[in-house]
Homo-oligomer: A and B are copies of this chain.
């Protein structure tokens, strides 16, 4: 009973269950673990409010005490609890990154594109003090986004790969601002997107093949995804506009799904005259196609020229090195983060369309 008021004199935080530690706390104060701004305030001989302001770099505290407090915090390895801060400020300090992360069932699993993108996003977000909370989604029902938003655990969302979910995004974007998606830009879309111009990319790839003398050009990719569709459109435009004599062979849609080696082999074996040029909608498909061509005794670029899409790291090291359309993923990631932060602050931003770039290597 004697301890309590004594403890209170030292600091009210010892008034309850720690009352019996009051004396000890006083003696061994400097060696006690600094867990809260109150502990640090006691050490510095100021109030918790001052510590909070000093650590937040507010101008209301004199620079002298601010520095002293910051040095103390540094010494004791103290970092204010982000939980408490977030509770008070009503922010989460985290961004949700949503990816159609499948396993066996989908193609994406083996697509290194996502990994690359995530790497850059992690950098950008960490640098700005946000955590990257990753979610995988199998968009079976249309309410996945709604649920994630209402869970309210992050300050905003970055969606990688809209594929066929553009409508869902649009619906939510109507009254949920902090959301940016990677991928195609569609006329009239409401949500904010960042991506390269797939039409231009398709155009450039196909035009390049024709410049190399190709006349029968096959397109490998599943145009059900918007991005791929736009690349196909670009390819069509290139063929019909630039070289009236050339021809574009599109994959039968029933084969356009996963596009495994077997699919490609089947397509080649039943396509009649083989194509002399292949425009693959991704580097992965291009590599697979080259393997199949090899196994059919066709040489690249001798018999068939191949162009990929994405310019992932392994495109440079394949045999032969792959000509491809480069998407600047680093820039894309930075753009997305910047736009998202603006939107978190309530600013309604437009979308960004980046220019793709043709990278010529030995496969064409």
Q: Assess the A92–B83 pair: CB atoms within 8 A.
A: yes
Q: A83-B83, A288-B317, A294-B319 are in contact. Are A116 and B109 (CB under 8 A)?
A: yes
Whether, in the assembled complex, A75 has its beta carbon less than 8 Å from a beta carbon of chain B, the answer is no
CB neighbors of B among A55-85 (8 A):
77, 79, 81-84
A110 interface contact, C-beta 8 A: yes
Is A131 in contact with B133, judged by CB distance below 8 angstroms? yes
Query: Are A115 and B109 within 8 A (Cβ)?
Result: yes
A83-B92, A150-B77, A295-B320 given; A134·B136 CB < 8 A: no
Stretch from A21-29, A39-47, A96-104, A178-186 at the B interface: A96-104
Q: Tell me, rounded to whole Å, the shortest Cβ–Cβ distance linking A114 to chain B.
A: 6
| Interface assignment of A132: CB less than 8 Å from any CB of chain B | yes
Kindly state the separation between the CA atoms of A187 and B133 in the bound complex, as whole angstroms: 34
A30 within 8 A of B: no
A151 to B79, CA, bound (A): 7
A243 at the interface (CB under 8 A from B): no
Q: How far is the CB of A140 from chain B (nearest CB, A)?
A: 14
Q: Does A126 contact B (CB under 8 A)?
A: yes
Determine which of B122, B292, B318 lies in contact with A319 in the assembled complex, contact meaning CB atoms within 8 Å.
B292
Over the window 132-153 of chain A, the binary record of Cβ atoms lying under 8 Å from chain B Cβ atoms (1 yes, 0 no) is: 1111100000000000001111
With an 8 A cutoff between CB atoms, is A286 at the interface? no
Residue contact A261 to B150, C-beta cutoff 8 Å:
no
Question: How far apart sit A120 and B92, CA to CA, in the bound complex (Å)?
Answer: 25
| Copies of this chain, count | 2
Take A134-B134, A291-B291, A291-B318 as given contacts and tell me if A313 and B122 are in contact as well, using a CB distance cutoff of 8 Å. Answer: no
* Alpha-carbon separation in the docked complex, A347 to B260 (Å): 45
A110's partner among B112, B132, B265, B290 (CB-CB below 8 A) is B112
**Binary contact track A116-133/B, C-beta < 8 Å → 1, others 0:** 101110110010000111
- Bound form: Cα–Cα A24–B150 in Å: 25
Is A359 part of the binding interface, using a Cβ–Cβ cutoff of 8 Å? no
How close is A33's CB to chain B, nearest CB, in angstroms?
12
A240 sits at the interface (CB 8 A): no
Task: Select A136's contact among B122, B136, B290, B319, beta carbons within 8 Å.
Answer: B122
Q: Which of A110, A265, A288 lies at the interface centre, i.e. has the most chain B CB atoms within 10 A of its CB?
A: A110
Alpha-carbon gap, A287 to B291, bound state (A): 10
Question: Do A317 and B262 contact each other (CB < 8 Å), given the known contacts A79-B152, A150-B79?
Answer: yes
> B131, A132: Cβ atoms under 8 Å?
no
A307 contacts the other chain (CB 8 A) = no
Q: Which residue of B lies closest to A136 (CB)?
A: B122
Please state if A104 and B313 are interface contacts (CB–CB under 8 Å): yes
Question: What are the residues of chain B within 8 A of A265 when measuring CB–CB?
Answer: 319
In the complex, A103 Cα to B122 Cα: how many Å? 11
| B150 touching A122, Cβ below 8 Å | no
A330 at the interface (CB under 8 A from B): yes
Q: Cβ of A115 and Cβ of B94 under 8 Å apart?
A: no
A12 at the interface (CB under 8 A from B): no
Cβ B103 vs Cβ A119 within 8 A: yes
The answer for the CA separation of A291 and B294 in the assembled complex, in Å, is 9
Residue A312 at the chain B interface, CB threshold 8 Å? yes
Complex Cα gap A114–B110 (Å): 10
Can you list 13 A-B pairs with a CB-CB distance of less than 8 A?
A79-B152, A81-B152, A87-B87, A97-B134, A103-B120, A111-B112, A115-B115, A122-B136, A260-B317, A261-B317, A261-B319, A290-B291, A291-B318
